[in-house]
Amino acid sequence: MSLDILSGLLSQRHGIDQSMAGSVISAIIGHLTQQQGGGSIDGGIGRLFSQGNNYSDDDRRGGIQSALSNLLGQRDRGQLNEDHPLIQYVQQQTGIQDPQQAREYTHHALGIMNEHANNNPQGLQSLFGKLLGL
């Protein structure tokens, strides 16, 4: 799976410029892999991809799916708003000026990513690895 595939879907379905769509997805992956601690799986996706660990591909796929499910749950409960760290990170990384637009783009991107986590978990895991330089 490539970033172009996901960004193309995001662009087609939601009318987001493909370059911006790719930036939003990259920012989401960057945020998820940089989070530390907290005891939840979304606080440790980066460690699942660290060199020298003993995590299996199944562990990595499960971690990605868990993190996305957690974020989608927050989105569905109305908790993934403009002051959420993920939305702020996406806004900073992409240069989107309007926090509402950053939230909207992030919500759409999470839906596409979750769809692929369920339908093509190996492909999404591969994309995480590529974006992390592995």
CA pair distance 21, 50, nearest whole angstrom: 26
Interval 40-81: pLDDT, tens: 443 467 777 766 677 888 888 888 898 899 999 999 999 999
Of the candidates 123, 129, 100, 131, the residue with the CA atom closest to the CA atom of residue 23: 131
Tell me the mean pLDDT in the region 95-115: 96
Rounded to whole angstroms, the Cα distance separating 60 from 57 reads 5
DSSP, collapsed to helix, strand or coil, labels residue 82 as coil
Non-local CB neighbours of 34 within 8 Å, separated by 6+ positions: 46
Query: Which residue's structure tokens are 């991809």?
Result: 49
pLDDT score at 108: 96
Taking 60 as the threshold, does the pLDDT of residue 18 lie above it?
yes
What is the pLDDT of the chain when averaged over all its residues? 86
Q: Please, which pLDDT band fits residue 134 given cuts at 50, 70 and 90?
A: low
Residue at token pair 């087609």: 12
pTM of the model: 0.86
